[in-house]
């Protein structure tokens, strides 16, 4: 929804029709050992979960987080965006949807695993970013989920984002 409200609309009302992007397949096709990279980020963890199903009943969302590092008193979700060049700055603009996806997964990890998430990691081919899970980020996500619910209730096609980088990429 953060990437493009129109894209979210089509996913909801076309019963989840989606397509796998290049970035989703690239790491596997190129033989990248993501598990090894993640183990390096999860030093000292009691356990590392991979493609773990998470949910938040309070938000009404669910999904599969790429990785979760489990420690005695907290968890660290890891979202992999291997083909994207992500920076802290880009997370506030063109990659804002990555940030909100990671926040959503982090909140769902807290609820599913009944633990605390202090920060999460976005892993890319260029390195990783550690982002604190702040009350402001949580509040922003709650507002976005509310907007998505309103779109679903009204069944009104939202305006596209009118961004050539996104629109040329989109299958809709």
pLDDT digit string, tens, across residues 141-154: 999 888 888 877 88
Average pLDDT over residues 137-144: 94
> Which range, of 69-73, 140-144, 163-167, averages the lowest pLDDT?
163-167
Contact 168, 6 (CB under 8 A): no
Average pLDDT, whole number, for the chain? 82
Which one is predicted more confidently, 10 or 138? 138
Which one is predicted more confidently, 132 or 64? 132
Residue appearing with tokens 């040329």: 168
DSSP for the chain? --S-HHHHHHHHHTTT-----HHHHHHHHTT--HHHHHHHHTTT-SEEEEEEEEEETTTTEEEEEEEEEE-SS-EEEEEE-TTS---TTGGGTTTHHHHHHHHHHHHHHHHHHT--B-EEEEEETTEEEEEE--HHHHHHHHHHHHHHHHHHHHT-PPPP---HHHHTT---
pLDDT value for 69: 97
Q: What is the pLDDT of residues 6-49, one digit of tens each?
A: 666 666 666 555 545 555 566 556 656 788 889 999 998 999 99
- pTM for the structure as a whole: 0.80
pLDDT at 71 over 60: yes
Query: Helix 96-113 to helix 135-154 angle, to the nearest 10 degrees?
Result: 100
Contact 139, 107 (CB under 8 A): no
pLDDT value for 46: 94
pLDDT at 121 over 70: yes
Percent of the residues in the chain that have a pLDDT greater than 90, as a whole number? 42
């Amino acid at each position: 929804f953060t990437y493009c409200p129109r894209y979210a609309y089509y996913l909801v009302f076309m019963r989840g029709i989606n397509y796998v992007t290049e970035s989703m397949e690239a790491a596997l096709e190129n033989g990248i050992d993501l598990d090894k990279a993640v183990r390096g980020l999860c030093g000292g963890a009691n356990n590392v979960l991979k493609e773990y199903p998470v949910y938040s009943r309070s938000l009404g969302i669910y999904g599969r987080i790429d990785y979760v590092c489990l420690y005695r008193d907290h968890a660290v979700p890891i979202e992999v965006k291997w083909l994207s060049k992500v920076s802290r700055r880009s997370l506030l603009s063109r990659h804002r949807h990555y940030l909100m996806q990671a926040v959503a997964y982090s909140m769902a990890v807290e609820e599913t695993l009944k633990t605390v998430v202090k920060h999460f990691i976005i892993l890319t081919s260029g390195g990783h970013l550690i982002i604190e899970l702040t009350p402001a980020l949580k509040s922003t996500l709650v507002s976005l989920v509310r907007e998505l619910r309103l779109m679903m209730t009204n069944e009104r096609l939202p305006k596209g984002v009118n961004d050539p980088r996104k629109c040329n990429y989109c299958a809709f």
